[in-house]
Amino acid sequence: MQLQTKISLKTQQHNQIDYNSKIVLLGSCFTKNIGSKLNYFKFQNFINPFGILFHPKAIENLILNSINENVYAENDVFFHNERWQSFDAHSALSTTTKEEIVTSLNTAIISTNKQLKDSTHVIITLGTAWAYRFIETDKIVANCHKIPQKKFLKELLSIDDLVESLASMVALIKSVNNKASILFTVSPVRHIKDGFVENMRSKSHLIAAIHQIVEPRNNVHYFPSYELMMDELRDYRFYKEDMLHPNQTAINYIWEQFSQVWISEAGQKTIQKVEIIQKGLTHKSFNPNSDEFRQFSENLKLKIAQLREEFPSINFSQ
């Protein structure tokens, strides 16, 4: 009996991810979920240097500023709720001093520039097409930082606006790294604070826009994270208690589909070795002084040494 409507996923035939790949992940909070999986399995990742960015304009702005190496100054940040903030970044980057946040922003810009130039894969997860424009400057912000909503205009980015933004991201990345594979996906997290109908409008705009710029022959691809959640996992048991975010079971499922399509056969074999070591590192012995546990620990160290000899970038101390 078939109890799911299965999505047909075509295995990527070239430029798959392996343990020599360098991956940049940008975008919404679902980026963190996939990024944490890649971190756990010890891939080479660079994740959200400006924190979570929900809409395409914010991601485009980060890429543009990084490639152009635009420098932030003290007049680019502001003080609110006893923290220094930037409209271009998530509140996770907020600090108690002006100098510290400016330094953090500029350090992130330099790092992102290098990572985009060196990357083999850039994964961009879009969360929403809704954006907020700060009335005082007439600029779209990445984060409102709990400033009163009356100071912003809320707008739904049109499909044409989104196509332009996504095409700009691709062109910018390709201008410094023509070999990188660019992979777009839409976050399955439901933004119902915007409203149920508004959330669906937002997601549909994102999906329509992405498919106007996807071009596998130019190494621009799409992975259906949103569709996997909506169709294959069509049940609230796959959500957290808030009924909005995918739970760990759903994240694991989408990760499995992603790895089957995008991670090479050699990479998947290494994943199995890494997982054995990760589980071994969390093993707790009833008697740490026993000969059996000492032998177990020595075998684990040997496995780590052998894996690091093959892939020096792998570091289990992090």
Task: Answer yes or no: is 12 within a domain.
Answer: no
Task: Answer yes or no: is 293 within a domain.
Answer: no
Phi, psi dihedral angles at 49 (to 5 degrees): -65, -25
Taking the chain (318 residues) in runs of 10, the rounded mean pLDDT of each run is: 78 85 95 94 97 97 97 96 97 96 98 98 98 97 96 98 98 97 96 92 98 94 96 92 94 95 95 95 84 89 94 89
Task: Answer yes or no: is 272 within a domain.
Answer: no
Sheet of 121-126, strands arranged across = 44-47, 22-27, 121-126, 181-186, 220-222
Task: Answer yes or no: is 147 within a domain.
Answer: yes
Rounded to the nearest 10 degrees, the angle between the axes of helix 248-262 and helix 29-40 is: 70
* Distance between CA atoms of residues 46 and 291, nearest Å: 40
DSSP assignment, residue 44?
E
Number of domains in the chain: 1
* Distance between CA atoms of residues 154 and 152, nearest Å: 6
Task: Answer yes or no: is 313 within a domain.
Answer: no
Give the per-residue pLDDT at 4. Answer: 78
Q: Which domain holds residue 77?
A: 22-264
* Distance between CA atoms of residues 163 and 157, nearest Å: 10
Task: Answer yes or no: is 288 within a domain.
Answer: no
Task: Answer yes or no: is 162 within a domain.
Answer: yes
Contact 250, 229 (CB under 8 A): yes
DSSP assignment, residue 16?
-
Give the per-residue pLDDT at 109. Answer: 98
Task: Answer yes or no: is 144 within a domain.
Answer: yes
Question: Which H or E run contains 62?
Answer: helix 56-67
Give the per-residue pLDDT at 245. Answer: 93
| CATH code of 89's domain | 3.40.50
